[in-house]
Every structure is written in structure tokens, then in C-alpha cells.
Amino acid sequence: MSVSRRDFFKLTASAVSGGLIAAKSLSAAEINQEKYADNYAMLNDCTKCIGCRGCQTACKKSHEGLSHTGNDSRYDMPLDINADNYTVIHLFKETDDKWSFVKKQCLHCNEPSCQSVCPVAAFHKRDDGIVSYDSGKCIGCRYCLVACPFNAPTFEYDSATPKVQKCDFCKDIRIAKGETPVCADVCPRGAIKFGKRGDLLKEAKRRIKNNPDKYNTHIYGEAEIGGTSVLYLAPKDISFADLGYKMYGETPPIELHESIQHGIFKYWIPPVALYGALGLLAYNNMKKHKSNPLSEETDNES
């Protein structure tokens, strides 16, 4: 199995965080689900999805600025979320009997890594649970892309004024008007249910209890990395690893990010180290030049 550079950073961070913060950070039991119960949330039920991709198309059409065409005005289905597609439907298929569609997007984490690593606070977990992004603050460092456990943020590499892009929960075009997100609205199968996180968790548990032969009993996002606002139900014989979701523990990684970042910036280590190194280099060059002032001319002449 090949491990990308991005995955390597994530795995290293997870391994280190597991060791460093297991003793002091929140466990699933300690995470107060009540704290997030009133947050806006979404329940993506993979057993209901028929892969029509209406949600994907509607999301793209409703968000101004997302490109609608590929080269030569042809439009191809994207293989994954990208700067022009906040959500995509993937198909997992092992056999004719074992398959499922799954919707990929930003999960609007309860304890978002993107927010904790961003050095200029361009990401913000709002009181209603939505993780929003402010392009006006963003400096394009792309630390958020590396830190996100779900590879949700993407970057406009081909733009002169690039921004980070990700699902915004339709906060401006729908939520601000008291309406439900576009994808949940258009789904012909009711596979995307929008509501309050506490209610949707109850709904997910009710579906599992009433349909034991249909559902995997695990609700993805209930506890992973401290819980997410986007929750998933999967078919009985299909795991979330099958669907492309990593099986994270319950500890949010943000404590590690914050302890490293705060440690670094508290003592101004990067600027001091940088200027110290540059000063040393300049001093050495000066010394070399003084001990042999003709060296440069000699070098040039030879």
C-alpha cells in the first residue's frame, strides 16, 4: 500500500497525539454530546442513496464561482472533491451483492483540526456547528489541507487569487434564510437528512434498532475525533473503512496541534531560529572574506 506525503503527516500526527495526549484529553465518554446536540447536522444514510448524484450537481450549481465545465466546456464527473466540487458521490463495490454509494464532503467536526492549525483564524467553528472559512484572512499556507482528517479542504491551484474550498453547509445561500442545505433538499431518496445533531443521532439509532438486518450498527461521526456534524449510516455488511473513511479514535487531534503551535509561537522560536541561522551564515561569510579578501576575485578569474 502506498502512503502519500499527506497521509504520512496525518499518520505521524495521530501516532504522536495518541502517545502524547491520551492521558489528558477527552475520551468519548467525556465528550459531552449534549454540548453539540443543538448544532446543525446532517445524516447521510448510505442505505438510501441510489447514486443519482443530484446532490452533487445541485451543490455545484447553487454555489456561485464553482466552475461548471471542464476543458472545452465538457463536464466530467470528478473523481473526488476538489476546488470546484464541495461534494461527490463515491461507489464502493466488492461484489454484486456488496456495494454502496457514499457522499463525501467536509464533516464539520466538533473539534475541527482546520481551525486549530490555521495561523490566521481563517476557519471558525460557529456556535451553530458550521465550520466556516474566511478567504479574506487566509494566507494560503494550506496547513488546513494537511491537518484535516478527512481531506476535505481543497485549494484553487489554478487561480491567480487562490482560496481554500470546502462544503460550507450552504450557510449563506440557505441557512441564513432558514432553509435546509441544497443537497438535503434535492435528494429524491431522503438519503440526506438535515437537522440538529442530537435529534439526528436519535434518528440514526432508531433506524438501526428498527432495521437490524439492514444497518451497520456503527454511526460514523458520533465519536470519531470528538464527533462530527455530518453523521453516516452504512449497510450492514459494509464497514466505513470499505467506504473510504479511516477508523479514527475518539480523541480530537486539536490538543496536539495547539500545544505544538502555541509552544512554537509563544517563544518566537521560528523567527529567532531563522534570523539566528541567517546571522551565522552572514558572519561566516564575512569572516571568510576578511581572511582572504581576494578569494572572490580569484574565483572569478579562474
Residue 115 burial (CB < 10 Å; 0-12/13-18/19+)?
Answer: buried
Q: What are the cell numbers at 292? A: 582572504
The correct pick among 13, 41, 43, 55 for binding ligand SF4 (CB under 6 A) is 55
Task: Specify the residue, 85 or 292, whose C-beta has the smaller distance to ligand SF4.
Answer: 85
Give the length of the chain: 302
Q: What are the DSSP calls for 155-172, one per residue?
A: E-TT-SS--EE---TTTT
Nearby residues of 156 by Cβ (< 8 Å), 6 or more positions away: 83, 162, 163, 164, 165
Decide: is 152 part of the binding site for ligand SF4 (CB under 6 A): yes
The correct pick among 31, 131, 200, 231 for binding ligand SF4 (CB under 6 A) is 131
Minimum CB–partner distance for residue 73 and ligand SF4 (Å): 23
Q: What are the cell numbers at 220? A: 460514523
The correct pick among 36, 40, 92, 150 for binding ligand SF4 (CB under 6 A) is 150
Decide: is 90 part of the binding site for ligand SF4 (CB under 6 A): no
Q: Could you say which DSSP state residue 183 is in?
A: H
- Which residue stretch of 20-28, 52-60, 205-213, 259-267 sits at the interface with ligand SF4 (rule: CB under 6 A)? 52-60
How many CA atoms lie within 13 Å of 109's alpha carbon, on the beta-carbon side?
A: 25
Decide: is 89 part of the binding site for ligand SF4 (CB under 6 A): yes
Task: Specify the residue, 25 or 105, whose C-beta has the smaller distance to ligand SF4.
Answer: 105
> What's CA 69's distance to the chain center, in Å?
25
Residue with cell 482560496: 163
Q: What are the cell numbers at 113? A: 483540526
Minimum CB–partner distance for residue 190 and ligand SF4 (Å): 8
First to last CA, the chain: 52
Site string for ligand SF4, 175-214 (x = CB under 6 A): ------xxx--xx-x-xx----------------------
Decide: is 170 part of the binding site for ligand SF4 (CB under 6 A): yes
How many CA atoms lie within 13 Å of 18's alpha carbon, on the beta-carbon side?
A: 9
Task: Specify the residue, 113 or 216, whose C-beta has the smaller distance to ligand SF4.
Answer: 113
Minimum CB–partner distance for residue 231 and ligand SF4 (Å): 13
Nearby residues of 225 by Cβ (< 8 Å), 6 or more positions away: 109, 111, 113, 149, 248, 249, 250, 251, 252, 253
- Which residue stretch of 9-17, 111-119, 281-289, 293-301 sits at the interface with ligand SF4 (rule: CB under 6 A)? 111-119
Task: Specify the residue, 176 or 292, whose C-beta has the smaller distance to ligand SF4.
Answer: 176
Residues that bind ligand SF4 (CB under 6 A): 49-55, 59, 86-87, 89, 101, 103, 105-109, 112-114, 131, 148, 150, 152-153, 166-170, 181-183, 186-187, 189, 191-192
